[in-house]
Amino acid sequence: MKTMPTMRAALLRGFEQPLTVEEVELLDLAPTRVLVRTKATPFCSTDVTSFHGRLGKVPPTILGHAAVGEVIEVGGEVRGIEVGQRVVVPGTPECGDCFYCAAGHPDQCAELFDLGGVYPDVARTSDGLLVNAAGCVGGYAEIMSVSRNQAFPVDTDLSWEVISLLGCGITTGVGAVLNVARVGPDDAVAVVGAGHVGLWAVQAARLAGAREVVVVEPREHRREVALEVGATVAVAPEDALAAVRDVTQGRGADKVVEAAGPPSAQRLALELSRRAGTVVLSGLKDASGEVSFSQIPLAIHSRRVLSTQNGNVRMRRDLPAYIRLLERGALDPAPLITSTYRLDDINTALRRSERLEDLSGVFVF
């Protein structure tokens, strides 16, 4: 009888309890799944929310919903993925067969969203508990057991740390601008929030030819980074309306991308847009959160209010394009990778993320 390998993983055993790094035994590999040795995983602020129990995760679980690694084993029914390949494991699978994939929205793939938050078990603890992989990834671990539909081979010499950002931050920020808002030359763009998603949105807006990119961010050091990566103006929230109106002859922004999360940020995004403008919402702070909008600007002024998950990307189409942009320096990851960590540093990374000290802290294995 084959013995499955063991690995070290950071487990969330209970909400608001320190994560524990433990050795766990992987479960048998199903025919449609792939084992990936993790090489790098960015710590996402979403996992701070999960730590506090606000996103419906079920402990014990391995957080980390985007990563990159090397394939070490494939199930018997897996085709097109080979041992030794580099693969990006993003936050969303693409099965290609469900209603949403067929309708051109693989970002809503049923393989993830029809689970209702009940993620697959991938390992067992030394005390016999089954461990699930949050987001069907479980990136805070030495090995990931993932669906064949959530592992995308890449051919690039970019570092593991940079490639890891292609599973969440880059795809969400760049995709929100190019795929959803469809920013074009001469657009005036506002980006609400200058974290790891907002700063990628700034870079994408610059690449798309936006004439103005106004960033709204309460923290001065993040506003400075926003200016470094392409914002034309960076202001605190209380100055946002005046700043946007100043560069748009009083109309408001043509396109607004919200990348912050709180309901107040999403209301502000609507207020910053002009009549018949486009507002893209991407943030989430609490699964039970609610947002209220004024009815006239929402219903009468012909605004397009859209939401996005993972930038509405199609990984097989967009991933090679984003890699080329990184390779030629058109997208710059350097200002965003603010810390690197080892797995044993998991609680340090969590605290630094919660205190907004990191933009992207990346675990390197």
Residues 109 and 54 grouped into a single domain: yes
**The predicted structure's pLDDT at residue 337:** 97
Residues 11 and 87 grouped into a single domain: yes
Which residues 6+ apart lie within 8 Å of 271 measured at CB?
241, 252, 297
Full-model pTM: 0.94
Whether 111 has a pLDDT exceeding 60, the answer reads yes
112 part of a folded domain? yes
**Which range of residues forms the domain containing residue 230?**
172-309
- Measured between alpha carbons, how far is 208 from 114 in angstroms, rounded to an integer? 34
Residues 148 and 178 grouped into a single domain: no
**The predicted structure's pLDDT at residue 289:** 84
Whether 4 has a pLDDT exceeding 90, the answer reads no
97: domain CATH number is 3.90.180.10
Residues 85 and 223 grouped into a single domain: no
* Cα–Cα distances in angstroms (integers) from residue 261 to residues 45, 106, 128, 265, 307, in the given order: 10, 23, 37, 7, 12
Residues 149 and 176 grouped into a single domain: no
Q: Which amino acid is at 282?
A: S
Residues 342 and 279 grouped into a single domain: no
Q: What's the N-to-C CA distance of the chain in angstroms?
A: 29
Mean pLDDT computed over 255-279: 96
Which residues 6+ apart lie within 8 Å of 242 measured at CB?
none
> Nearest-CA neighbor of 47 among 280, 252, 364, 351?
351
Extract the tokens encoding 342.
């080892």
Predicted confidence (pLDDT) per residue in 70-103, tens digit: 999 999 999 999 999 999 999 999 999 999 999 9
- Number of domains within the chain: 2
Predicted confidence (pLDDT) per residue in 158-195, tens digit: 999 999 999 999 999 999 999 999 999 999 999 999 99
Question: How many other C-beta atoms lie within 10 A of the C-beta of residue 129?
Answer: 14
